[in-house]
Amino acid sequence: MVKVRIAPSPTGFLHVGTARTALYNFLFARNGGGKFILRIEDTDIERSSDEMVNVIIESLKWMGLHWDEGPYFQSERRDIYVEYADKLLQAGLVYPCYCTKEEIEERKRVTEKKKKKKGWKYDRRCLHLTREEKKQFERERASALRFRVERASSFEDFLHGKIERSKEDIEDFVIIKSDGMATYNFACVLDDHLMGITHVIRGEDHIPNTHKQILLYEAFGWMPPEFVHLPLILGPDRSKLSKRHGAVSVLEYRDRGFLPEAFVNFLALLGWSPGGDREIMSLDEIIGLFSLERVGKRGAVFDTKKLEWMNGEYIKKMSDGELLRRLSPFIENKPGIEEKGDEYILRVIALLKERMTLLSQFWELGSYFFIPPEQYDIESFTKYVKKGRAETRKERIEKVINAFKELKKFDRDMAENCVRGVAEGMGIKAALIIHPIRFALTGKTGGPGLFEIMEILGRDECIKRLEYFVENILPQLNIKN
């Protein structure tokens, strides 16, 4: 049975690279009827935190990546690591190392300065200690355990083929730290083997680790899993994706108003192709189409604009009722929301959804449906007037107000007929008063159809805002038609 895992470290948020790795593992497992395991690699005790564990779990759940086993915590498996480390020690494959971090850094600095090049590796100082020196160190400090590298390493990668590394390029690496906790490479090998992992799918930045892990598999006489090292996600400048490219944690994308379906759809296409020109796909469709054979060898560029476009497509296709549910975190406690009620909000959603690319834009685009404009984009409106596209004569807008007061019925058709009738009676183009009416009602110069806006706001609210505009905003414009 296919068995894969995602093994994040709880030293920080779950970011895009790890999220895509988790997704590909999940898709591969589901496509093959296998299992997807969550393992928390918290061997870095000082930097790991329960808060980050919760963030990782919340991020994976938001993406819909539900695991079959776990979460397992490496911090709870210390005895297992010590047991297997002792087997290597008894076999003479590892040795105690008493060097402190500071001592190693100093020797590295001095050596690199003399040779005028980087690439220092551990100098095996503790391998050659005498028995007396070892006894002296044992009394003074705790020891780590280092694996003794005596051979080259090679493995067959699913995407990249055979990858080799000479023993000269691999230092004797630590498997158990001086605090008694296993290092990443040692714990990873033991856990992958003992948990029956068949495929290790991870970023290509792990290739140097894989060489060390292969040596450990060989030392124990175990068959390694199949390795698949995914190309890194790139920024627009084709360098490794980072915060300077706008990359943020998974939950930040959620909080910015991205839908999990769109986010997962977008991530799936960062390095994998379903064939043809297909882009918008459900998770079930992606699972059915997914295969490692269609994963590319080159890094894919993370295009935020495309992600926003895709998110907008999902918003457009979503039912108004479901969209209202998704919008809940973004509009709760906003003024006027509770008073208006769901039926009113659904009408606004139907009008705005075509313009939204993020859930968070709903209030930005349509707050005026719930409260009068708090600010008026006077600069943009002034440009309309100066270009002869808007009218600011008080008496002309007042005629519209008076005409509205005479209406018995008020819907989009009646509102439009009324405004156009007033314009015709004054001998001007309707657009000249449509623009200032929109500005008066919304504070903006663009948006959905004016008469659809009017119908939702209702006659009384339209009159109220137009009267406020005439008395308070027009005098500020200081523009003469």
Q: Computed over its alpha carbons, how large is the radius of gyration of the chain? A: 32
Tracing tokens 């060489």 back to the chain, one arrives at 211
| List of residues 6+ apart from 52 with CB closer than 8 A | 10, 11, 12, 13
- Token code pair at residue 127: 């391998």
Does residue 340 carry a catalytic annotation? no
The DSSP H or E segment spanning 192 is helix 184-194
For residue 95, give the H/E element and its range. strand 94-97
What CA–CA distance (Å, rounded) separates 358 from 325? 14
Active-site hit among 167, 243, 297, 316: 243
User: Is 126 labelled as part of a ligand binding site?
Assistant: yes
DSSP of 358-389: STTHHHHHHGGGTS--SS--HHHHHHHHHTT-
Largest CA distance in the chain: 109
Residue in the structure block whose two tokens are 């075509």: 354
Start-end of H helices in 221-336: 250-256, 260-268, 283-289, 304-317, 320-331
Buried b (16+ CB within 10 A) or exposed e, 340-355: eeeebbebbbebbbeb
Q: Do the annotations mark residue 418 as ligand-binding?
A: no
Confirm whether residue 188 is marked as ligand binding.
no
Cα separation, 247 vs 326, in Å, equals: 23
Q: How many residues does the chain have?
A: 481
Binding residues: 97, 99, 126, 128, 243
Binding residues for Zn(2+): 97, 99, 126, 128
Q: What amino acid positions are annotated as catalytic residues?
A: 243
Binding residues for ATP: 243
